[in-house]
Structure 1
Amino acid sequence: MSETTPDQRSPQPAPPEQRSPEQRVAVVTGASSGIGAATARALAADGYRVFCAARRFARVHELAAEIDGVAVGCDITNADDVALLADEVGGHLDLLVNNAGGAVGQEPLGEADLEAWHTMYTTNVLGTGRVTKALLPALLAAEGTVVFVTSTAAEAAYEGGAGYNAAKAGERMLARALRLELCGQPVRVCEIAPGMVHTEEFSLTRFDGDAERADSVYTGVPDPLVAEDVAEAICWVAARPPHVNIDQLTIRPRAQAANHKVHRIATP
């Protein structure tokens, strides 16, 4: 559920008639940290007015103030929150970055916490679908672009990853089905699939705040990706000419040849 009440969620954006007709509009979900926050900053630097959407309103409020964007308290699993987001954005949206999601736990199937699986499916698949559905009319009106931030977890299974593998593979199918459904319509549907990205919260959330276990994911890995690497890729995809659709872009650190093949150096 959302952590804010409706009257606290967002300063009102300028009405459409007061916005520059040249200014592009973007929505970034999960913008309170990591890839989402980095993407919001990068898009603002590229000239977008960015709606920064996340459950943690205080964080996105601070980010929006920094980049002259709009903060929206939005839990993508909550239909009312998503309806509010669509109302605030209005009828014109150039770019939607479906970034909100995440992983919870890494137990083998025989020991799986299925409630954690439910959380991952509800956010990565149902929440992403809900946001996309709500904002699709505005994207069509603007001849816009949707970018789904999935994961290399959608490509290949790994031990302990079944729940997250399934959720991200499900999100990938949203992107692929939508692209087929919109064939002939003026909306691009793109996917970015990052590999190992060392952000301040992803693994910490996955391992329920266990900092030592979270840090061990990246131990000995020389130069894992950082959030800004993925943000740069998202901006590049969005900046292609309107007739160019980047169906899928996989981005990994050089040290990661595959989900199961990672170069690590010895640490003291």
Structure 2
Amino acid sequence: MKLLRYGPAGQEKPGLLDAGGALRDLSGVVDDIAGAVLLPEGLARLQALDPATLPVVAGNPRLGPCVGRVGKMICVGLNYSDHAIESGMAIPTEPVLFMKATSAICGPDDDVEIPRGGAKTDWEVELGVVIGKPAKYVSRERALEHVAGYCIVNDVSERAFQLERGGQWDKGKGCDTFGPLGPWLVSADEVTDPQALDLWLEVDGHRYQNGSTRTMIFDVATLVAYISQFMSLQPGDVISTGTPPGVGFGQKPPVYLRPGQTMRLGIQGLGVQTQRTVAAD
């Protein structure tokens, strides 16, 4: 099941993508792809629907972030050993966690802003994990029972703010538009193995990232269990699980985004995002 949200920013309606690729309106069934809708019983209700009975959405509306009312977005740094090496950082012995401001979340094809004063804005294709059943002190063995589904995240980063301005990484990770989510929330039952997904990213047609979730240091189950030891996870919370090598920061010499470029990124079975870069107002 591929769930999505469509319409103008801040006014998105819930929908799903049917087997034929048509967008179907869910607003007569649920108010949003958020909160209790992501609980196991909420998802079961949607899976029991016959998509053919739902109205078809005409045209090609804007897609919003595939999850609404995200309570928190937890990101994992340096979760691919070859990315840690290209960044000149030690391979972590425990997951490195930081938070991305929820105000950074935007639609999968929305413009990405180069922030004022930004000189080193970078890209990171990542597997996003969306929590369904609340998780607190869960075991690794039961962790995937708490996952509603998966999506693509572009963990856009301003490296100068992140690494050269003192303090935590958050200030380089939370700028507006730095968290595109979607296009779809793919329910967990459709993702047979989250550790067997190819992921890639291109800028202006040049392939920079070409990796697989097989090479994660800490797998999805480990991350959900680990994070739940430090904070409870609620329906709609998003975990962004780290990026494979090929970021701009790791190029020799480094390559960073500038206004007027196009990022295109995808994950096997989870769709594709396309973003144009613009200067922040």
TM-score where L is the length of structure 1: 0.28
More strand by share: 2
More helix by share: 1
TM-score where L is the length of structure 2: 0.27
| Structure of higher RCO (CA pairs closer than 8 Å, 6+ residues apart) | 2
